[in-house]
Each structure stands twice: as structure tokens, then as C-alpha cells.
Structure 1
Amino acid sequence: MNDEIKLANQLGFTFFSANRLFNKFYQQALEPFALTYPQYLILLHLWERDNQTLRELGLELGLANNKLRPLLGRLKKDGWIARSSVPYDKRQFAVKLTEKGKDSQAVILKAVSELVGRDHLNIERYRQALKVNEELLTALESAVKNE
């Protein structure tokens, strides 16, 4: 068998594995808050820009409505966010942070920061990997759009 087609040599498989491990890694910091990594990503985005429509959140996070709605439902149920109607589109709703969501930002970010610092991740290598990953994502998005 050609080495390039072995599972261990597939770039997609390494990303699949990295995704699984990132979820486990972040779960260590997020578990005390009863948050999953995808829920944390939603909160991160809302901390950057609060009060967005379902559509805006979905576009930014790259999630379809059917994937995003259950995540938002759980965040709402647990008191992190509130939803309100959008007057110009009855099919949409706006999502905004509750006081709990706003007030918890610092403590959650501290927990994540301490986790990253504890494992002594080299920040320069992290930035290099992020740059390469962003280039790869851009190339893949272009390839998918051209289908």
C-alpha cells in the first residue's frame, strides 16, 4: 500500500483527531460551568459582539440552523443567553447574553487561560499553526465553493 494513502498520513484524519482532542482539552476548563466546547465558541462570539440573529451566528460559526438551534436552546435553558424576536423577519430570532453570560466571561476565560498555561503550549508555535490552518481553511473553502 502506498504510504500517502495510509490513514495516519491523511491530513483530514489529523484534523479529525485534533478536533476530538481539542474538545477533550477544553472540557477540562469548561466542565465546572457545564459548557461544551461548541457552546463556549458561541459565548466567545457573543462576548465579541452581542445581540446577533440566528443567521449571523450561523454564518460566523459555520453552523447550519439545525446544528445551532440545539446549542442555543441549551444555553438559554441554562441561563447564559436570551432570545428575542426580530421584527423584520418572523423566522429569525436575536440572541444576546444574559447577566450570567456577561458576568461569567472573566472567570471562564481565566479557567481556559490557566489550562493553556498549565500545559505550557509554546505561543509562537501555536501562532504558526494557526496561520497554516487559516491558509488551509481558505484553500478548502475555495475548493468547496468551486464544486
Structure 2
Amino acid sequence: MKDFLSLNNQLCFAIYETAGEFNKLYTSVLQPFGLTYPQYLVLLALWEKDEVSMKELGTRLGLGTGTLTPMITRMQENGWVRKERSKEDERKVFIYLEEKAHRDKGPITKRIAEEIQLCNISLTEYDELMKRLNELDQKLKDRSKSAGA
């Protein structure tokens, strides 16, 4: 590589730029549904597994309670989810999908798929990108673990 320190040769900048483009894409798709991108991630996690504790959801999404709690409150106000305290342990709060989330799952995922297809990313390329990004993520996490040890 000619000039490693140039901005355009920085992997972190390429990821930052790409993430920004994805955010624009998802924002435009989700706006008609009244959702933000982080709220969509909450729905994705709950579509995989409904009725989870706030703590479990936060761990799954990598979000702290300071970020997640107000987001879930807004989603509850807008009819996407509901919160219920555990009857066994009042410290635990469980999150459940509401009918609106089940009803709109198809239209939301259809619109997302249509927009991704417009990016001309083949399934093979998509799978390869996911594999490589997951590998990179794991390497960064492994580095953090070894640096903290």
C-alpha cells in the first residue's frame, strides 16, 4: 500500500463511510413506518425471539439501559412493543412485540430487501461481506480482550 496514512487507505474510514450510507438507506426506508434504525434493530431482535428481558435485549444489541430504556418507551408509545415487570422478580422488565410489529414485519422487511437489491449486491457477495465483517468484528473483540488482560 502506497500511503497507509492517507484517509482513503484507512479501513476505519471505509467502514465509517459505508455505515453512513447504510444509515441513509435504512432511514429513508424506515421513516414511512415511523421507525428509527436502532428501533428497527430492536424489532429484528424481537422477531427472532419475543418476550425477552430488557437486560437480554440490551446485551443482544450491545446497548446500555440508558440508551435502550427511552427507545423502548418511545416504541411502546407508538404501539410496537410493550413492557411488563416480572411477577417473580420486579427488578426484571420483559419486552413483548405488539400486534403492529407482527403486522408490519412483512412490509418492512420487503422494503428493506428491495432497497438492498437496488444496491446490486448478489447473495454470494452479501454472504461474503457478512463473513468478512463478522471475522473483523471478532478480531477486534479478541484484541480488546487481550489488551485488557
- Asked whether the two chains share a fold, i.e. TM above 0.5, the reply is yes
| 3-state secondary structure, aligned to 1:83 | strand
Letter matched to residue 60 of structure 2 = E
How far off its partner does 1:87 sit? 3.2
Letter matched to residue 107 of structure 2 = V
Paired position in structure 2 for 1:32: 32
Letter matched to residue 101 of structure 1 = A
Letter matched to residue 124 of structure 2 = E
How far off its partner does 1:92 sit? 2.8
Paired position in structure 2 for 1:110: 110
Cα distance in 2, alignment partners of residues 91 and 138 from structure 1? 32
Paired position in structure 1 for 2:133: 133
Q: CA 1:4/1:89 → structure 2, altered by over 3 Å: closer, same or farther?
A: farther
Paired position in structure 2 for 1:85: 85
What are the superposed Cα offsets for residues 80-113 of structure 1, whole Å, 9 maximum, x if unpaired?
0000002344333100101111111111111111
Q: Which runs of 5+ in 1 are unaligned?
A: none
What are the superposed Cα offsets for residues 110-134 of structure 1, whole Å, 9 maximum, x if unpaired?
1111212233222211211110100
Cα distance in 2, alignment partners of residues 118 and 126 from structure 1? 13
Runs of 4+ in 1 over 6 A off after TM superposition: none
Normalised TM-score (structure 1): 0.91
Paired position in structure 2 for 1:23: 23
The RMSD of aligned alpha carbons is 1.5
Q: Which runs of 5+ in 2 are unaligned?
A: none
Q: CA 1:145/1:115 → structure 2, altered by over 3 Å: closer, same or farther?
A: same
Cα distance in 2, alignment partners of residues 10 and 108 from structure 1? 34
Aligned identity (percent) is 35
| 3-state secondary structure, aligned to 2:120 | coil
Cα distance in 1, alignment partners of residues 123 and 49 from structure 2? 25
Paired position in structure 2 for 1:68: 68
Letter matched to residue 135 of structure 1 = E
Normalised TM-score (structure 2): 0.90
Cα distance in 2, alignment partners of residues 12 and 85 from structure 1? 41
| 3-state secondary structure, aligned to 2:90 | strand
> Which structure's relative contact order is higher, taking Cα pairs within 8 Å and 6+ residues apart?
1
Cα distance in 2, alignment partners of residues 80 and 131 from structure 1? 31
Paired position in structure 1 for 2:5: 5
